[in-house]
Amino acid sequence: MIDNEQADRQEKSVLRRISAKTSQDCSADSAALKTGANRCHVGLSPGLFMFFLTILAGVGSVAAQEPSASRIEQAEKEPQNWLTFYGNYAGWSYSALNQISSKNVKQLLPAWTFPAGYPPSTTSLRAGLEAAPLVLDGVLYLVGPQNNVYAIDAAAGRLVWQYVYDWSKKEPTPGNKGARGLAMGDGRIYMGTQDDHMVALDAKSGDELWNVKTDDVYKCLCSITSPPLFVKGKVITGVAGGDGPFRAYIQAFDSATGKLLWHFDTVPAPGDAGSETWPGGDTWKVGGGATWLTGSYDPDLHLVYWGTGNAFPDLIGEGRAGSNLYTASLLALDADTGKLKWYFQETPHDVYDFDSQPEPVLLDIDQGGHKRKVVLHSSKNGYAYMLDRETGKFLRGFAYVDTVTWTKGLDEEGKPIGAMIPGESKDFLFCPGGRGGRNFNHSAYSPRTGWWYTTAFEICSRMVHGTDLFEGDMLNPNSPPHIAAFDPLTGKKQWSFPTKYWNQSSLLSTAGDLIFAGDLEGDVFALDARTGQKLWSFSTGGRIASPPVSFSVKGRQYVAVSSGGGSSREGFVPNFWPETKNHLPQPAATLFVFALPEKNQ
């Protein structure tokens, strides 16, 4: 047994040796450069690295263990960890930790911060930090804006290892999309890159295990920006793009080798089911349908649920008659084969840029004494749809924004009624506008309240017939941007919290009856999950456009949020609020981690 003083002396000794070796050992070796990576493990040899982890385990940090799919399936049994992008396979963004509560959240203070670097000037990588970290057994994993990956002592904020993705010999990447997170499973960390590679790293050392090129970024103008989904030996990923001439897809790779296992095109080829919705010509070849955001997974049904983006050309539909499957849809795919089980198209023949990319939220509801598996899925079109997740049958829908004008409502099958279509309608103002009811910022669900929490932008757009551009966007004069709580079973709004500008951060719900979020002025804040009252805020000094997460180490709960912005929508804020010009913080890249003072735990 190592006593505290001895452990402290040993830890300081190790850290002194690390500091002495870091500058000479963090340069890229020739083997690393050949694979497009620089493995920089803070100057540790394998033996010293394991000794360091052993010492840290004795003084408050724990070496990473191998997470399996079964652990992620039962994520609720280990709330101290955050094992997948949404915290669980169901897409809840919910933490069962309750040490931080509505009663004591005002005492929350920064515990540590970590700088995640800045994109080098030789590339067009987007500045900012949009990523959500993962946490496993006392180690936090974070991807920076330049696709570097960091393993960090989750209690102390000390770097354990880092993986540096080499951009030095690459041209600027088209698209400028960003990096939003990681996946983990079977002892590996998985990352999609902005130049279309899938990479697997050893979770304990940061060594690159495989690196597979998935597409040609300069031909497809696409990239991988959201984290993949790890499911039973498979790494499943979508792809960003679709606002250009691109045919999107979902792919699954063997988690051990990187071998491609299946590929599903979101726009069917001639002869495939759904191809009749692209009549005439070759528009299907560049039909869009990007799979921007991470999907959800039902272990019982072994189905993966994934949303798709708009059809291309984005705002002009004359050349692509038909409903244009499977764009603007929710898909259910067999996780083993990628075969389509069912689909539900939310905006047929989309001419509004109404992607259906948001996260599918999986719920089990009580219906007449029997449990029914449902999926709650929202679209940029302003509606949330409740579907049977075994069959895709439409059950009900409700508007999560205050004003919807592009359609008169939804019919019994969930299809829009009397939608305004260019060529059939005169120039018109439609709400929500092309920026959507919300965008990349995902929602949260709390099993304690039974409520679903979401952001609403409340922005409208004016469509001018014969152009592929909006003449102008405007704020909804009847409603400010806000965060709202809904009963997903009835669609009834429970409360609304107005935000100064539209909210770009995702939401986190916790068992402490709190909703965490952040704003573009740099404040991370907490709302009462039952009333919407603002209880706490802290200025990070950087825009927040990221998902907060929560975890614990040795009984102490933490809330982590990336500060620095990076979302595409930030640049449009001064168009609506001129006073924000030269007022909003500049892009940055810092992870902030908060906790209660130790004496108050």
The confidence band for 319, taking pLDDT boundaries of 50, 70 and 90, is confident
Calpha distance 30→37 (Å, rounded): 10
Q: Is the pLDDT score of 45 beyond 90?
A: no
For residue 527, the model assigns a pLDDT of 98
For 487, other C-beta atoms within 10 Å of its C-beta total: 14
Question: Per residue in 535-558, is it b (16+ CB within 10 Å) or e — as a string?
Answer: bbbbebebbbbbbbbbbbbeebbb
Q: For residue 262, with 0-12 CB atoms within 10 Å meaning exposed, 13-18 middle and 19 or more buried, which class applies?
A: middle
Instruction: Kindly state the tokens that stand for 149.
Output: 């990956």
Model pLDDT for residues 117-137, shown as the tens digit of each residue: 877 665 678 889 999 999 999
The whole-number average pLDDT for the span 139-162 is: 97
For 7, other C-beta atoms within 10 Å of its C-beta total: 17
The whole-number average pLDDT for the span 241-247 is: 87
The whole-number average pLDDT for the span 174-189 is: 86
Instruction: Kindly state the tokens that stand for 80.
Output: 């101290």
For residue 207, the model assigns a pLDDT of 98
Q: Is the pLDDT score of 58 beyond 80?
A: no
Q: Please, what is the average pLDDT of the chain?
A: 87
Calpha distance 187→455 (Å, rounded): 35
Of 353, 513, 519, 523, catalytic: 353
Strand ranges of the sheet holding 493-498, from the earlier edge strand across to the other edge = 444-446, 451-456, 482-486, 493-498
Q: For residue 74, with 0-12 CB atoms within 10 Å meaning exposed, 13-18 middle and 19 or more buried, which class applies?
A: middle
Calpha distance 536→108 (Å, rounded): 8
3-state secondary structure (DSSP) of residue 205 = coil
Instruction: Kindly state the tokens that stand for 555.
Output: 């009984």
For residue 52, the model assigns a pLDDT of 40
DSSP code, position 587: P
Residue 327 in contact with residue 287, Cβ under 8 Å?
yes
Q: Is the pLDDT score of 571 beyond 70?
A: yes
Q: Find the angle CA(36)-CA(38)-CA(40) to the nearest 5 degrees.
A: 160
Model pLDDT for residues 192-206, shown as the tens digit of each residue: 999 999 999 999 999
For residue 360, the model assigns a pLDDT of 98
DSSP code, position 360: P
For residue 500, the model assigns a pLDDT of 94
Secondary structure E strands in 318-447: 329-334, 340-345, 361-367, 370-378, 383-388, 394-399, 428-430, 444-446
Model pLDDT for residues 468-483, shown as the tens digit of each residue: 445 578 888 889 999 9
Instruction: Kindly state the tokens that stand for 441.
Output: 């910022």
Strand ranges of the sheet holding 109-115, from the earlier edge strand across to the other edge = 109-115, 590-595, 556-563, 549-553
Residue 353 falls in the annotated catalytic set: yes
For residue 244, the model assigns a pLDDT of 84
For residue 572, the model assigns a pLDDT of 85
Q: Say which residues have a Cβ less than 8 Å from residue 234's Cβ, sequence separation at least 6.
A: 252, 253, 254, 255, 261, 335, 336
Instruction: Kindly state the tokens that stand for 319.
Output: 């050349």
Q: What is the pTM of this model?
A: 0.88
The confidence band for 171, taking pLDDT boundaries of 50, 70 and 90, is low
Q: Say which residues have a Cβ less than 8 Å from residue 398's Cβ, sequence separation at least 6.
A: 383, 384, 486, 490, 491
